[in-house]
Amino acid sequence: MTEAPGTPAGARSGEPAGPAGLGWAPAGPAGVDPSVRGTVEQIVQAVRDGDDAAIRTLLADLAAVADTAALLYLRERLYRPQ
């Protein structure tokens, strides 16, 4: 099977296409500390509520403990449809 131009190798239909090396990857909660997941969920809710003060505070809290997995999880949660 041949991928469409701009589709990362191994991408399945329905997955976003992007530049090589920046393809879609699941960033689920596996390996993310439960307290970090809680902070991420609070950030997502604050973003949806438009609460700028809460967003700033929560992002500062997350920055103190975040690793790559936590940041990818935040990104995935923010882009997931409601």
- Cα–Cα distance, 15 to 55 (Å, whole number): 29
Mean pLDDT score, 34-41: 94
What are the DSSP calls for 2-66, one per residue? PPPTTPPTTPPTTSPP-STT-------STTS-HHHHHHHHHHHHHHHHT-HHHHHHHHHHHHHH-
Q: pTM score > 0.75 for this model? A: no
Q: Bigger pLDDT: 42 or 14?
A: 42
Mean pLDDT score, 4-21: 48
Mean pLDDT score, 23-52: 83
- Cα–Cα distance, 11 to 3 (Å, whole number): 8
Summarize pLDDT for 15-36 with one digit per residue, the tens.
454 444 444 444 456 688 999 9
- Cα–Cα distance, 4 to 60 (Å, whole number): 40
